[in-house]
């Protein structure tokens, strides 16, 4: 992997890039950039065939100056120590920006869960939980689901940790089933957070979502619910893509019909109420808003050069490369950064963590209202900093986050 494509170097460079916009000492900025600890483990799995397979896994604590580590667990073949560390760094920035009492962490296993049976997936999860057990705890590090993991995986993970702890401390992990101390609305929280961000963005230009033409990359845990929310608000989702390909309907895709089609085992690119189009054409469509909601580095400089949309809201983690970001800026495409727009999931996790510690579940309205308040407040702070300092929204978000991390380190001091 070249330095240009290294996700860890990319996020570290972005942090250093705002050094001229703050009064933070260079040595303190260097401290903020570096991860606190990285645990690499060999995760042994006995397949149903009795074959023994060993996968690489990681758990990274990037910065816990503001609270316990917080970050998801992903199962993906492309996972590497650098990609996991980069995502942990983003979590530090995200939790600081939205001002919740967590630091940044991330974990994962380099594997393809689609090639595993359910029993194999459970054994893999429990072995991984055992391997990283020393890093996990209510006030140390609180994992959550991420790419290719869900509440079932979190239940297995939690049960394993509880077995080692000899106590059922539900606040040790979030994104759990409701029966095990989960929070109402967690599964759609990231999508709802993106939706709130889009509405706040439109309001700044005295616009609404009604009739807006939108394309969405990804139709999974984030893109799927988000498509439905936008469709329900009157927007026209004219194109959607996933790993199977891209589809387009200039009059707007019937999202309820597509959702039912995919739920029943259909492949998105084979949905007959829309035309299948090449991926390159997907990015060049004339739209009002683009929402990348898949994996990181989805939009490079070449793709960015062909984007004609006025707005781009990052629903995935790190979907725009640094080179692409510069192109979009030159072409006057307004980008809302991921550390704000997709923070709904971690905010919801903070609610679950708080509820589990209190032993009292909030109702759905309280969860939704508090999520909306936190997302909107953070958006306004980012927008105001951008306007007063005459910097991009990404720069404004980074400055706010880095300053909060620096403040925490300054108050805590260096021990011993």
Rounded Cα gap, residues 360 and 185, in angstroms: 16
Are 353 and 142 contacting, i.e. CB atoms less than 8 angstroms apart? yes
Instruction: For residue 198, give Cα distances in angstroms to 294, 335, 337, 339.
Output: 17, 11, 12, 14
Burial code of 255-283, b = ≥16 C-beta within 10 A, e = fewer? beebbebbeeeeebbebeebeebeeeebb
User: Hey, what are 106's tokens?
Assistant: 């991330």
Rounded Cα gap, residues 279 and 109, in angstroms: 28
To which residue do tokens 């790419």 refer? 147
- How crowded is residue 404: how many other Cβ atoms within 10 Å of its Cβ? 18
Catalytic positions are 106
User: How many angstroms from the chain centroid is the CA of residue 37?
Assistant: 21
């Amino acid at each position: 992997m070249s330095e240009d494509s290294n996700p860890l170097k990319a996020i570290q460079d972005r942090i250093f890039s705002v050094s001229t916009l703050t009064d933070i000492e260079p040595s303190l900025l260097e401290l903020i950039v570096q991860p606190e600890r990285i645990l690499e483990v060999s995760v042994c799995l006995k397949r149903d065939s009795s074959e023994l397979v060993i996968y690489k896994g990681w758990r990274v604590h990037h910065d816990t100056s503001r609270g316990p580590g917080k970050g998801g667990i992903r199962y993906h073949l492309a996972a590497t120590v650098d990609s996991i560390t980069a995502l942990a760094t983003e979590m530090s920035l995200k939790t600081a920006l939205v001002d919740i009492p967590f630091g940044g962490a991330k974990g994962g296993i380099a594997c393809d869960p689609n090639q595993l049976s359910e029993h194999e997936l459970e054994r893999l999860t429990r072995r991984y939980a055992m391997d990283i057990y020393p890093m996990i705890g209510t006030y140390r590090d609180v994992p959550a689901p991420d790419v290719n993991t869900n509440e079932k995986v979190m239940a297995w993970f939690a049960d394993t940790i509880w077995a080692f702890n000899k106590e059922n401390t539900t606040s040790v992990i979030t994104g759990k089933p409701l029966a095990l101390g989960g929070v109402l609305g967690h599964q759609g929280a990231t999508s709802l957070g993106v939706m709130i961000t889009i509405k706040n963005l439109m309001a700044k230009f005295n616009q609404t979502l009604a009739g807006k033409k939108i394309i969405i990359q990804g139709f999974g845990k984030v893109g799927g619910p988000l498509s439905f929310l936008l469709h329900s608000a009157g927007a026209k989702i004219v194109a959607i893509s996933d790993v199977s390909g891209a589809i387009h309907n200039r009059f707007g895709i019937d999202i309820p019909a597509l959702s039912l089609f995919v739920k029943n085992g259909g492949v998105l690119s084979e949905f007959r109420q829309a035309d299948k189009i090449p991926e390159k054409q997907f990015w060049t469509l004339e739209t009002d808003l683009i929402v990348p909601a898949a994996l990181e580095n989805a939009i490079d400089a070449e793709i960015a050069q062909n984007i004609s949309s006025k707005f781009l809201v990052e629903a995935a983690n790190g979907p725009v490369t640094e080179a692409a970001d510069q192109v979009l800026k030159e072409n006057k495409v307004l980008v809302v950064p991921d550390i704000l727009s997709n923070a709904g999931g971690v905010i919801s996790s903070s609610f679950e963590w708080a509820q589990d510690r209190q032993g009292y579940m909030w109702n759905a309205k309280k969860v939704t209202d508090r999520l909306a308040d936190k997302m909107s407040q953070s958006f306004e702070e980012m927008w105001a900093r951008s306007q007063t300092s005459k910097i991009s929204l990404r720069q404004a978000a980074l400055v706010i986050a880095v300053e909060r991390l620096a403040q925490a380190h300054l108050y805590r001091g260096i021990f011993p």
